[in-house]
Amino acid sequence: MASSTRRTSATCWCARWPGSPSICRPMRMPDMAEGEVSGNAPALEARGLHKRYGAVHALRGIDLAVWRGEMFALLGPNGAGKTTLFSIFATLLKPSEGTAQVLGFDSVRERVAVRQRMGIVFQEPALEGKLSVRDNLHLMGLFYGLSSRAAKTRSAELLVTLGLEDVAAREAQKLSGGQKRRVELARALVATPEVLFLDEATLGLDVDARRLFWAEVRHYVSAGGTVFLTTHYMDEAEPADRIALIDHGQIIALGSPQELKNRVGGGVLLLATDDDAQAAAWLREHGHHPEISARGVLLVASEPAAVLPEVLAHLPVRTRRAEVHEPSLEDVFLKLTGRALEDGNGKPAPRAQGGQP
Ligand SMILES: Nc1ncnc2c1ncn2[C@@H]1O[C@H](COP(=O)(O)OP(=O)(O)O)[C@@H](O)[C@H]1O
Ligand SMILES: [Mg+2]
């Protein structure tokens, strides 16, 4: 990514954030290809973070480091605390206790410095609907303090790389859902941020649109950027370098996708039966530790294929389908919490206070 010099602008997009003064200051973005990576200093760091909304204890002691150049996913069910943690890192919310740092800057005391170096895509649309795609990007560049010429050049580059050239002149409100999300991503990238925050950024998109979106995010990471994303879809977390599983405001597991799956053990036997509760009870009586999920009865075993014949022969209920597979992130979550990760209703979680501009 090319270096660019930023200028102070009179109007600042970040002034749209609650209680925020204009934050744009002259600054020089680092060339991420050359890198200003200082040793192993984390890009994001949380220490002893708690967040309470009145009686709701949304974050219960988060300690976390995200490394520079890492694609990091926060994966958990609706209500787990993802948007709350995301909003604290992204300077949109103050913690009740503890500290959060982004690129060495405190997310409360030095939020100006943090905002200058980050790009963000919210769960909810933030485009100017009446403006063209090109103008949305150009405007965001100006808000970030780029010169008009630099903003135009950068917007033009992003229109090409994100496959938006054909719709560049179209009003943002007339785009498809997938196109809108790509414009949101382009806007977040227009000032070449060092950290990109994505909160459930592809919620509601079809598979093709999600694939295109994530391909661009990976492109950004391969150029040296750091990504912190939240999702409740395991397949979106899967390409991340590391994943933190979050549940009830606590990180319950952290590691690469493979490390997390290794925690489950050998493999998974999934049975769809006429009576899953009875099947699970029988399995328990015979020394197994089954979990019941929406997909059926799930049994983790070092060699699930070896268990299958005995189970099929003796289970007192009819088995409609039996399947053996490698552990998935869904299985990891189920094993750790006894509950399913994806609720399947696609409903967004309640929004954190002041969390969106
Ligand atoms: N502004 C708020 N006021 C009260 N409770 C909130 C607020 N924002 C979030 N919560 C609660 O905090 C918990 C975590 O919410 P959130 O961080 O949005 O979870 P997620 O993004 O994982 O769905 C949930 O119980 C949610 O209802
Ligand atoms: Mg959320």
d(CA 25, CA 115): 11
Query: Which amino acid, residue 21?
Result: P
Task: Measure CA 218 to chain center.
Answer: 13
Mutate to test the pocket of ligand 1, among 53, 75, 203 (most ligand atoms within 8 A of CB): 53
Interstrand relation of 296-301 and 291-293 (parallel, antiparallel or unpaired):
antiparallel
Q: Quick one: which atom of ligand 1 is closest to the CA of 353? A: 1
- The CA 265 to ligand 2 mean position distance, Å, reads 30
Taking every pair of Cα atoms in the chain, the longest distance, rounded to a whole number of angstroms, is 75
| Any ligand 1 atom below 6 A from CB of 229 | no
Cβ proximity of 31 and 2 under 8 Å: yes
pLDDT value at residue 32: 38
Per-residue pLDDT at 19 exceeds 60: no
pLDDT digit string, tens, across residues 181-199: 999 999 999 999 999 999 9
| Any ligand 1 atom below 6 A from CB of 349 | yes
| CA proximity to 131, closest of 213, 4, 13 | 13
What's the pLDDT band for 14 if we cut at 50, 70, 90?
very low
Cβ proximity of 183 and 126 under 8 Å: no
pLDDT digit string, tens, across residues 47-86: 999 999 999 999 999 999 999 999 999 999 999 999 999 9
Per-residue pLDDT at 353 exceeds 60: no
The secondary structure of residue 210, as a DSSP letter, is H
Query: Which amino acid, residue 14?
Result: C
pLDDT value at residue 4: 35
pLDDT digit string, tens, across residues 110-152: 999 999 999 999 988 889 999 999 999 999 999 888 999 999 9
pLDDT value at residue 39: 53
d(CA 166, CA 222): 26
d(CA 28, CA 169): 30
| Any ligand 1 atom below 6 A from CB of 300 | no
Stretch among 100-104, 137-141, 215-219, 347-351 having the lowest mean pLDDT: 347-351
pLDDT value at residue 343: 53
d(CA 153, CA 160): 11
Mutate to test the pocket of ligand 1, among 49, 50, 56, 251 (most ligand atoms within 8 A of CB): 56
Per-residue pLDDT at 167 exceeds 90: yes
pLDDT digit string, tens, across residues 229-250: 999 988 889 999 999 999 999 9
Per-residue pLDDT at 346 exceeds 80: no
Q: What structural domains and CATH numbers belong to the chain?
A: 12-256 (3.40.50.300), 266-326 (3.30.70.270)
Per-residue pLDDT at 176 exceeds 50: yes
Helix (H, G, I), strand (E, B) or coil at 295: coil
| CB-count exposure of residue 287 (10 Å: 0-12, 13-18, 19+) | exposed
d(CA 116, CA 27): 8
- The CA 350 to ligand 1 mean position distance, Å, reads 5
What's the pLDDT band for 342 if we cut at 50, 70, 90?
low
pLDDT value at residue 330: 87
Cβ proximity of 24 and 31 under 8 Å: no
DSSP per residue, 93-129: S--SEEEEEETTEETTTTHHHHHHTEEEE-SS--S-T
| CA proximity to 253, closest of 330, 195, 324 | 330
User: Who has greater pLDDT, 207 or 170?
Assistant: 170
Cβ proximity of 327 and 267 under 8 Å: yes
Cβ proximity of 242 and 254 under 8 Å: yes
Q: Determine how many CB atoms are found less than 10 A away from the CB of residue 30.
A: 16
Query: Which amino acid, residue 204?
Result: G
Nearest CA to ligand 1 atom 10: 352
- The CA 339 to ligand 1 mean position distance, Å, reads 19
Nearest CA to ligand 1 atom 9: 352
* Residues ≥6 apart with Cβ < 8 Å to 132: 168, 169, 170, 171, 172
| Any ligand 1 atom below 6 A from CB of 58 | yes
